[in-house]
Amino acid sequence: MSVTAGPAEPKARLRVVIAEDTVLLREGLRRVLTDAGLDVAGTAADADQLLKLVQALSPDVVLTDIRMPPTQTTEGLQAALEIRRRWPGTAVIVVSQHVETEHLFELLAGDPRGIGYVLKERVADIAQFTAAIHRVAAGESVIDPQVVSRLVARPRRNSPLETLTERELAVLALMAEGRSNQAIALQLYMSPKTVETHVGNLFGKLGLLPAAQDHRRVLAVLTYLRR
Amino acid sequence: MNRALRAALAAGATAAVGCFVWSSWLPNSQYAPVEISFAVVGLSFMVAGIAAWQRWPASRLGLLFTIIGYLWNPAFSGCNASCPANVLLIGNGSRSAWNTLGTIAALVGLVITGIVLTLIVRHWRSARGWSRRAMIPLLWIAPAVGAENILTGSLFHFPALVTYALLPLLLLAGPVLFVISTVRARTAGGALGTAIVDLEPGASPGRLRDALARALGDSTLQLAFQQPGGAGHLDTLGQAVDRSVAPIAGSGGTVLVYDEGLELEPQLVKLTAAAASMALEHTRLQAEVQAQLEQVRASRARLVEAGDAERRRLERDLHDGAQQRLVTLSLALGMARDRAAGADPELEALIDSAGKEAREALTELRELARGIHPAVLTETGLTGAVQALVERSPVAATITAVPDERFPAAIEATAYFVVSEALANVAKHAMADGAQVTIRRRRPGRLVVEVSDDGAGGARPEGSGLRGLADRVASVGGVLRVDSPPGGGTRLEADIPCP
């Protein structure tokens, strides 16, 4: 990779802070992300350290494990919420062992823009993981596909979801993952126009307000799926 | 001594009866009906006297009754007419001797009657409660005996009709009243038994005392306890006891403190002490069983809590150990794959499949860890954990209500376990379209977990699954109710005490 010095260069490289208490994984992540062209500005082993780093370094993206010392429960999640409160412009990806959605909703309850919730094993797919970091940095929401597919596949009774076509369901799932219409069109090989039609139709079928079609639509869709 | 005397008197009475019967069967017996009635009166006095003696050994009443009986026996007092024999062997011809004898007998009778009356009154005054009430009939004997002496004594003379018809009736009243008195005493004794039987199990010594006091009619009755060092007894108020006491067997030095009036009724006091002993023993056993039950309950709760703690530890170990290592391994494989990309397609495919295996292992491990202990329960409480259960339920499940507050770990774990097992059962057995989960605080201090479905019903509470669930709920002091009519769905309700 050729690196040309210039004023635009630091802007192009995303500055990332990693919080992970397992040394091996922390160092592995640093290496992978550095190799992927990201600037790992610092790493932390617990939530306190993380908050100090964020204050000192003002990174673009924070990557944090949920469970960290000292209590090994939700320190990372609490730190993420605090970072969003104190530095709203900082994107945060929470890495979780849980497919359960409780933490996800805590995280999205504020402003879902620039929030990511991915399962830990996702880090192994380096390309996808790096893409997720870029997406949250660009203000999108990123919800792990496995978490979403569990919600979509839940058995339901007398639900309008049963009336959706397969295509509409696929669009719905991608919306729940935080994808934009543009991205959905790319992934499903459709024209953006078709995607818009599908979105309009399924919002009608589910009785969701068109007003939810802004940046909060991911939350609206997830809330619907979780009910 | 008393016993020997009683036996002798009883033998004498039998001999007198024998003598009387024998003499009245002699060919030329000329007993008048009045003499036969006198004999009956005398005999009944004898029998009543012996019985009274048996009942109140400390009282001379019984002995005196017996003596009166002897005086009335024609075989002893001789015949006024021409009976063939009498014990004193005084011939019929000796008129003056009979008259003297009659006067002496009347005088002796008067004296004895006086003593009897005094004794009865004294006895009555000292008696307490039912014992006193039972004696009331005896008081009627007093005028009867008085009348007898006045009517038959040689001091006064009444028409024969009065003397020979009225008198026996009047006198028979004595023994009859005595029998009534004894029956009443028996009834009072029965009341004691009833009082003990009615005493609910595990009643306090205070309640026992009240019941005994009521039954005995002695409001001063007390239970007292041996002072340490064996010097006397203290009552429940800590006062030293200076009254009559009766030890209660097997009660570790507890005694019954009773009114001295009851000393006339040693049988009854003994009976009461025995009853008290039984009741106290019952209370003691009850307390012992209760204490043991409490121990078992506490140890069961400790076992369950230890199990829960162990599960939490295991889950954490899995998370911090194997899961992290597998994530790190996946990451390394991902890096290796990226390096091999393009250069060696075969190697790339190999690493790819290794990475997939690692991810599969991670997913399985995550499910295993969740099954051991749901971390989301520790982290978010029932709200998040029940939501997670509903999300993964194979049967459409909805939440009606879950309180958004934290409870003690054992209670949260139990409530979670109930919902988890219930939803699993719905999926396995109920053939239901849907299930509903409701967790509510009911009244202060109760948490009610309810899972209902619209399935086939007919769940058996004694089945091993529900049995285990009931045990789990019981470990935190709760109860599990199962309502599952065939065809009517199943409703499971765990009612758990919680602060």
pLDDT tens-digit map of A102-119: 889 989 988 888 999 999
Position B473 pLDDT exceeds 90: yes
Query: How do residues A196-205 score in pLDDT, each as one tens digit?
Result: 999 999 999 9
B94 and B88 in contact (C-beta within 8 Å)? no
CB contact under 8 A, A124 and B355: yes
Select the residue of B320, B355, B383 nearest A102 (Cβ to Cβ).
B383
Would you call A120 an interface residue with chain B, using a CB distance cutoff of 8 Å?
yes
CB contact under 8 A, A74 and B392: no
Percent of chain A predicted with pLDDT > 90: 62
The nearest CA of chain B is from the CA of A156 a distance in Å of 5
Considering only CA atoms, which of A26, A35, A79 is closest in space to residue B339?
Answer: A35
Per-residue model confidence (pLDDT) at position B277: 81
Query: What ipTM was reported for this prediction?
Result: 0.85
Report the predicted TM-score, pTM, of the whole model to 2 decimal places. Answer: 0.66
In this model, does residue A137 exceed pLDDT 90? yes
Quote the minimal CA–CA distance from B305 to chain A in Å. 19
Distance from CA of A193 to the nearest CA of B (A): 33
* Pair B318, B326: CB distance under 8 Å: no
Tell me whether A128 touches chain B (CB under 8 Å): no
Closest CA–CA distance from residue B327 to any residue of chain A (Å): 6
Q: Tell me the two tokens of residue B297.
A: 């309950």
Do A151 and B323 make contact, defined as CB atoms within 8 angstroms? Answer: no
| Chain A, chain B: beta-carbon pairs less than 8 Å apart | 106
- Is B359 in Cβ contact with A28 (below 8 Å)? no
Chain A residues with CB inside 8 Å of B332's CB?
28
Average pLDDT in the B448-467 region? 88
Burial label for A87, CB within 10 Å (0-12, 13-18, 19+), is: middle
Q: Is the pLDDT confidence value at B465 over 90? A: no
CB contact under 8 A, B375 and A155: no
Q: Is the CB of residue A151 less than 8 Å away from at least one CB of chain B?
A: yes
Whether chain B has a CB inside 8 Å of the CB on A9: the answer is: no
With cut-offs at 50, 70 and 90, classify the pLDDT of residue B2.
low
Cβ pair A103:B355 closer than 8 A: no
CB within 8 Å: B335 and A67? no
**Which residues on chain B place their C-beta less than 8 Å from a C-beta of chain A?**
316, 319-320, 323-328, 330-335, 338, 355, 358-359, 362-363, 366, 369, 374-376, 378-380, 383-385, 387-388, 391-396, 398, 433-434
Q: Which range among A147-161, B106-120, B139-153, B170-184 has the greatest average pLDDT?
A: A147-161
Partners of A103 on chain B (C-beta within 8 Å) are: 376, 379-380, 384
Q: Test A97 with B396 for CB contact under 8 angstroms.
A: no
Task: Flag the least confident range among B84-98, B220-234, B259-273, B324-338.
Answer: B84-98
Q: Which residues contact A12 (CB under 8 A, 6 or more apart)?
A: none
* pLDDT over 70 at B35, yes or no: no
